[in-house]
Amino acid sequence: MPATALSPLGFDFDAAVVAPCGMPPAPRPMAGGATPLTPLAPGSRHQREKLAVLSAFPELALQGAAGFDPGPALAALATHAAADHPDAWGWDGRRAEALWLGTAVDVDAHGQAEVVQTAPGRFGHGDEVARCLRALPPVWRLPGLLALAFAEDLAIVEADGGRIAWTAVALPSHWSPQDQIGRSLAEVHVPRPDAELRQHAADVLARLVAGPERRERFAWTVTGHPRLHAHPRHVDPQRWPADAASTWPGCAWWRSERESFLPLPSLQQAVFTIGVEVTPLDAAIATPAQAARLRDAVASMTPAALGDRALAAVRDILLTWLAARTVGDAVETADAGAAAPASARPSGRPCR
C-alpha cells in the first residue's frame, strides 16, 4: 500500500483520484496485511443502516440467481474472515459467531440456520441483530450475520463470463442489486458512459476473478445524498437541491468505495466486497493537495462521465470551490521555492 493516508475502510485517495478520467483501473494486488473485510463495532453507522435495510426491505439487498448455491463460497469467506479477524469472527464449519455482537448462526448440512444469542447485545435493546436475522429466511441468516458483522457489502462472481450470481448489498451506490443478478460484469457496464472502455475493463476483471491474489480497486463520487444506503428506490431523483450554489459545500458529500476481490480458485468464483464511506465534502477534501487532485480529475471528465456521476448540474460549482481550496497549495509551493516536478502531477492513470 502506498504511504498515503487511508480511510477507515482502506480507501486510497491518491490511487483513486487521478486525471484524466477514462478506463477503470484494473484491481491492484492487495498489500500484505490488508484484508477484504472490516469488523464493525456494535451500533456503528454501517451496522445501523444495514440493520434498517435487512429488517425493512431485505429483498433489495439479498439476491441470488436461480439454482445458484452460495454455500461453498460463504464457507470459504467465513474461513478467511476467521483467519483475518479472530477477535471478531469465529467459524468451525457449522457455527459462525460474530464475537463483538454476541450472535451466532448454526448452519446444518442442508444450509438451514438457527440464530443463537451468545451474549447480551451492546446497543439498543441488546437483541437487534438476532431479531433481524430470525426474520430472514434460514438460507439468508449466515449472509445476514456476515453483513452485520463487517462493513463491506458482498457479492459472488463466477469466473466463467464474470457472472454476478449472488449479492448481499445493503448499501449500494445508486444501483439496484436485484437488477444485476445473472448479468456479466461486461453487461453491467455497457449502459454506462464510455461503454467500450468499460467493457474492456470488465473483461479484465472477469479474468482476475479466479486468479491467485487478493486484489482491490477504488471508486468515488461527490453526491448530494448523505446516507450509506443509496438504492435508487430510496434516493431523491432530483440528485441536487435547487439552492446548491448557495448552500455549497453543506449539501455535498464525498462517497468512496474500496472494492476487493477474494479469489476462490477451487470454486472458479470470487467474493467481491464493497466498502462504502460517506463524509461531508469539506471534511473529506481536507488539504490543498487533495483539492487540486480532485479539481484536475473533475475537470477532465467527459459529459458522459459527469452524467454517470450525476455531477453535470454542479460541475462548475464544484470546480470553483476546489479552485479556492487549492490556494494554500500554491502558497506552500511558492514558499518551498520550486514548483512540483512533472512526476508529482497526476500520472494519467484512469479513474473510475
What's the average model confidence in pLDDT over 128-134? 96
Q: For residue 334, what pLDDT band results from cuts at 50, 70 and 90?
A: very low
| pLDDT tens-digit readout, 202-258 | 666 666 766 788 999 899 999 999 999 999 999 999 999 999 999 999 999 999 999
Instruction: Answer with the residue of higher pLDDT: 49 or 209.
Output: 49
What is the C-alpha to C-alpha distance for residues 68 and 73, in angstroms, rounded to an integer?
A: 11
pLDDT of residue 199: 65
Q: What integer is the mean pLDDT of 280-293?
A: 96
- Point out the least confidently predicted range of 166-170, 264-268, 321-325, 344-348: 344-348
* Between 334 and 270, the higher pLDDT residue: 270
Quickly list DSSP for 302-314: -HHHHHHTT-GGG
In sequence order, the 6+-apart residues with CB closer than 8 A to the CB of 99 are 87, 88, 89, 90
Mention every residue, 6+ apart, whose C-beta is less than 8 A from residue 315.
298, 301, 306
Close Cβ partners of 134 (under 8 Å, ≥ 6 residues apart): 115, 141
Rounded to 5 degrees, φ, ψ at 310 are: 55, 40
Alpha carbon distance 191, 194 (integer Å): 9
Q: What are the cell numbers at 159?
A: 469466473
CB atoms within 10 A of CB 90: 17
Give domain limits for the chain: 27-280
